[in-house]
Chain A
Amino acid sequence: MKKLDRLVEDKRIVVCIGSGGVGKTTIASVIALEAASRGRRTLALTVDPSKRLAQSLGLTAGAATGKVSRKRMKEAGYTGKGELAVRLLDVKKTFDELIMKVSPSDGAASRILANNYYRSVADSIAGAHEFMAMEALYSSYEEGSYDLIVVDTPPSEHLSDLLSAPLRLHSILDSQGFKSFFIMDRLSFGLTRLVTSASLRFIQGIVGIDVIHDMWEFFTEFESVSEGIKARAVMAYDLLKSPSASFLIVTNLSEASIDNTIDWQRDLKSENYPVGAVVVNRTNRHWDLPRINGAVDLESIPSRGLRDKLAGLYKGYKHEADAEKKALKKLGTEYTCLPVPEIDTEIIGLKDLHGLRDYLFG
């Protein structure tokens, strides 16, 4: 079976996408560790790892960066010589840095950063999280210190939530509609003025004069950085569509996750994003369950009660395995499909991550 060896050796960017709860962070970590152990300078850009996984990745509580040292990788069973850099996405900080990067002057940047609207809600606008994940990826790439960046993305139901977010958010912030609103109110007269004034009063009625003022100040100031932000978003898109990038779809075999994966495959393909593989995480380990005839196969088991319980258990596991096989068939992916069976222990330490590598790499 074709595995992900080429992917970690050749690519510059690997983006792991998937619904919530399927194990994206785990899979992204396994990939990043493997690339690092093969000697590539690797950065794992992660969104929200569990506390224990974060610790394993060298992120101490509250820290935004960490690393998995050569020594710790060795202890976990990796034979190579590399080490792994880890970065945790900080939406607000990435947004601040982006503003500073593209501002025409320090003054303009600090006026935006000090704005009340920006400070209290800008990072909660729909799409801000996804936008900043992409910006963090792009700026890490720009730094040039890494051969490979493995990105773990915010959980999304739809691909468009993830990939269209930057431009959608940009269009909200750059809205001609909103700016013209204030301009028209000042310049127009007669009926037009009456209507816009009424609308302005309407918004003011909803949120109050302070918010209107803060927003007006922000949107006016935003004009100076708008083009720069858009240009960076476009460059990030180009990068993600280039042959040096690869998308990995992580899914489990639940109905909802399979449906999402089918949609994503279609959308990624139609928008020309390169797809590397589909990783089917946490599958039932008993797919090869033999057919059991309770009366014959279990006769060596002494007690009737135990036989019945075992038969009941068998029925449950068999049902689950059959349902999963059916789901996998429904997925019928044209891409490399790598099942990773569920293991009894929890994936929390580097050793556990190392234990998964054989499912993804040859």
Chain B
Amino acid sequence: MDMDLGDLLGKKLIIVTGKGGVGKTAVSLALSYLNAKHKRKSLYVTLKEVRRGSYFFGFEGGADSVERPLDKGINSVYIDPNAALREYIRENFVRLYPVYAAILKSKTLQTFFESAPGLKELITIGKVWHLGTRGERRRSTGQAYDQVIFDAPSTGHAIPVLNLPSKVLRMARGGAFRSHVEWVEGFLKDPGETAVVVVSAPEEMVVGETLDLIDAVKSIGISVLFTVVNKAYENPFTEDEEETIRELCSSNESPAAEKLLCIAKSHMERADTSDKYINKLRGGLKDGVLVIPKIFKKDLTPSDLEYIASRCEAQLGGGI
């Protein structure tokens, strides 16, 4: 399948997932920058609160429950599933404030929500969608967005959550929640509206899990747009240079240079390993694979995110 920038930007909701530690947040934010570059407003949504002052790519504001600009054209918000649940109840069932307060305070009800797995998660996904589409509704007051980018939990947690709608539908044969779940299923499974972007890394463990994840997402019936292989080692050397490195590696008079040449050699080997896993992914996937080079920095900055965005764009065909 040819990858197309227009395809990516045309979705309302992009769900970014992948194994823990591969760089989901960086890729999610890079996709936000890609939107911004094309003059489109996007909302970055996370389920992890980022307190003001803690490291977040050098953005000062962090991410909390108030939607606020992260950079030009990019807003960010943190969704607390408990708060989303309260809001859902208030809006859908209890319009009278005192009743709402009394019901939410009851331990019984709290227990009920704890023991009904998926309820909170599904309401959270519903809320993410809601934020993204509110510009299309009349009498809506909030900011309208062209795209919502959902920095979803890692694979281990994501599959059970994405699997939930069908589980819940099997169990709940009636009730308002069933119609909520049907609605969630509706937009999740609409390939024109929603797509999953999987983040991976060129490592054995990660590649295996990536292939499993993509199978699982597809079997649920949700469209996978492409896979981003992050942190790939790139070989910067020409063939002649490689030969020179091998020759000089053990015959150099300067110990410092020798050490550096050995690093260069191991870097080349790693680049080969990266290529091997990238090819494995390409072989196993019909959908596109984008490659992002490893950035030798511990803390990425907004300009690194823009760089990742430009690398993604360069590998996507088409335009908007």
- Interface residues, chain A, with chain B CB atoms under 8 Å away: 19-22, 48, 50-53, 116-117, 120-121, 124-126, 154-155, 172-173, 175, 177-178, 180-181, 195, 199, 202-211, 214-215, 252, 254-255, 257, 285-286, 289-293, 296-298, 300-303, 305-306, 309-310, 312-317, 319-320, 323-324, 327, 344-348
CB atoms of B177 and A19 under 8 A apart: no
Inside 8 A of A51's CB, which chain B residues have their CB? 208
CB atoms of B176 and A303 under 8 A apart: no
B226-251: contact bitstring with A at CB < 8 Å (1 yes, 0 no)?
A: 00000000001100010011001000
B262-276: contact bitstring with A at CB < 8 Å (1 yes, 0 no)?
A: 011011011001000
Inside 8 A of A291's CB, which chain B residues have their CB? 256
Q: Which of B110, B260, B263, B267 has the most CB of A within 10 A?
A: B260
Name which residue of chain A comes closest to B102, CB basis: A195
Q: Which of B1-9, B16-24, B61-69, B301-309 lines the interface with chain A?
A: B16-24
Inside 8 A of A207's CB, which chain B residues have their CB? 116, 172, 175, 177-178
Inside 8 A of A324's CB, which chain B residues have their CB? 298
Known: A314-B263, A346-B273. A19 touches B21 (CB 8 A): yes
CA distance A255 to B103 in the complex (A): 41
Does B192 sit within 8 A of A, measured CB to CB? no
Inside 8 A of A19's CB, which chain B residues have their CB? 20-21
Q: Identify the 9 closest CB pairs spanning chains A and B, nearest first.
A: A20-B20, A21-B21, A316-B296, A208-B175, A208-B174, A323-B298, A346-B204, A21-B20, A177-B107
Does B106 sit within 8 A of A, measured CB to CB? yes
Tell me which of A116, A155, A290 contacts B259 (CB under 8 A): A290
Q: What DSSP secondary structure best describes chain A's contact surface?
A: helix
Q: What class of interface size applies to chain B in its complex with A?
A: 35 or more
CA distance A117 to B118 in the complex (A): 13
Does B286 sit within 8 A of A, measured CB to CB? no
Tell me which of B55, B108, B118, B173 contacts A210 (CB under 8 A): B173
Known: A208-B177, A317-B296. A290 touches B160 (CB 8 A): no
For residue B9, give the distance in angstroms from its CB to the closest CB of chain A: 29
CB atoms of B117 and A20 under 8 A apart: no
Q: Which of A51, A195, A206, A214 has the most CB of B within 10 A?
A: A206
CB atoms of B171 and A202 under 8 A apart: no
Does B156 sit within 8 A of A, measured CB to CB? yes
5 A-B pairs with CB atoms under 8 Å apart are A173-B115, A208-B177, A298-B260, A320-B298, A348-B204
CB atoms of B108 and A181 under 8 A apart: yes
Inside 8 A of A327's CB, which chain B residues have their CB? 298
CB atoms of A172 and B298 under 8 A apart: no
In the complex, chain B residues 16-45 whose Cβ is within 8 Å of any chain A Cβ: 19-22
Inside 8 A of B259's CB, which chain A residues have their CB? 289-290
CB atoms of A214 and B208 under 8 A apart: no
CB atoms of A297 and B174 under 8 A apart: no
Does B203 sit within 8 A of A, measured CB to CB? yes
Name which residue of chain A comes closest to B20, CB basis: A20
Known: A20-B156, A125-B115. A302 touches B298 (CB 8 A): no
CB atoms of A209 and B174 under 8 A apart: yes
CB atoms of B266 and A310 under 8 A apart: no
Tell me which of B93, B203, B236 contacts A313 (CB under 8 A): B236
Inside 8 A of A175's CB, which chain B residues have their CB? 107-108, 111, 115
Does B167 sit within 8 A of A, measured CB to CB? yes
Name which residue of chain A comes closest to B164, CB basis: A124
Inside 8 A of B177's CB, which chain A residues have their CB? 206-208
Q: Which of B110, B170, B205 has the most CB of A within 10 A?
A: B205
Known: A21-B21, A292-B256, A297-B256. A306 touches B244 (CB 8 A): yes
For residue B296, give the distance in angstroms from its CB to the closest CB of chain A: 3
For residue A324, give the distance in angstroms from its CB to the closest CB of chain B: 8
CB atoms of B204 and A50 under 8 A apart: yes
For residue B272, give the distance in angstroms from its CB to the closest CB of chain A: 10
Inside 8 A of B254's CB, which chain A residues have their CB? 296-298, 300
CB atoms of A298 and B296 under 8 A apart: no
Name which residue of chain A comes closest to B209, CB basis: A50
Known: A20-B19, A309-B236. A50 touches B208 (CB 8 A): yes
Tell me which of A206, A319, A346 contacts B297 (CB under 8 A): A319
CA distance A205 to B256 in the complex (A): 73
CB atoms of A121 and B116 under 8 A apart: yes
CB atoms of B244 and A124 under 8 A apart: no
Known: A206-B176, A255-B299, A306-B237. A20 touches B21 (CB 8 A): yes
Q: A155-B154, A177-B107, A199-B103 are in contact. List 19 more A-B contacts (CB 8 A).
A: A20-B156, A21-B19, A120-B171, A121-B116, A202-B109, A206-B93, A206-B177, A207-B177, A208-B177, A211-B175, A292-B260, A293-B256, A298-B254, A301-B248, A313-B267, A320-B297, A327-B298, A346-B205, A347-B204
